[in-house]
């Protein structure tokens, strides 16, 4: 008995998607498609929500944090440490440029009481939990 398989337009979509994900692992694809935004942990205890973000290679003055009642937005810029020259790169993965990441929080927070510190390439933002909605607030980084 022969196997019969019905054709579906979705077959092409899934095949194209698989091809695209394989392409992203190729060294000649720009890193822009691989990320550039910080990897984060979001932790909550009884009183606070704590966000830890890895931001290596970024200076404190190049990071901006905004907290609303239920989100945190981290914006930053990774600046190039070399002058623009026409060098022939064999392989380049380092990310340079700006990024922005908005994270939903697990509960309402008091953004005006948020604190942030930056140490050894890790940004730690601590925000007290709130019981009522608050306006957005820009956080100073220590």
113 lies in some domain: yes
Is residue 53 a part of any domain in this protein? yes
Distance CA 68, CA 63 (A): 17
Rounded CA gap, 50 and 13, in Å? Answer: 39
Task: Note whether residue 9 is domain-resident.
Answer: no
Q: What is the mean pLDDT of the chain?
A: 78
Global confidence as pTM: 0.65
In a domain? residue 8? no
In a domain, 108, yes or no: yes
Total count of domains within the chain: 1
Query: What is the domain-level CATH number for residue 75?
Result: 2.60.40.790
Task: Give domain status of residue 30, yes or no.
Answer: no
For residue 58, the enclosing domain spans: 37-81+94-139
Per-residue pLDDT of 89-127, as tens digits, reads 777 676 677 888 899 999 999 988 999 999 998 999 999
- Judged by DSSP in three states, 8 sits in coil
The answer to whether residue 105 sits within a structural domain is yes
């Amino acid at each position: 008995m022969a196997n019969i398989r019905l054709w579906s337009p979705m077959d092409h979509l899934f095949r194209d998607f698989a091809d695209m994900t394989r392409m992203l692992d190729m060294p000649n694809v720009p890193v822009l498609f691989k990320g550039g935004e910080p990897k984060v942990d979001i932790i909550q205890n009884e009183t606070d929500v704590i966000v830890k973000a890895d931001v290596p290679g970024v200076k404190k003055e190049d990071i901006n944090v905004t907290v609303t009642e239920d989100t945190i937005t981290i914006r930053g810029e990774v600046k190039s440490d070399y002058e623009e020259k026409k060098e022939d790169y064999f392989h380049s993965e380092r990310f340079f440029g700006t990024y922005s990441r908005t994270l939903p929080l697990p509960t309402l927070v008091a953004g005006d009481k948020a604190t942030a510190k930056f140490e050894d390439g890790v940004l730690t933002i601590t925000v007290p939990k709130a019981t009522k909605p608050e306006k957005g607030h820009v956080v100073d980084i220590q």
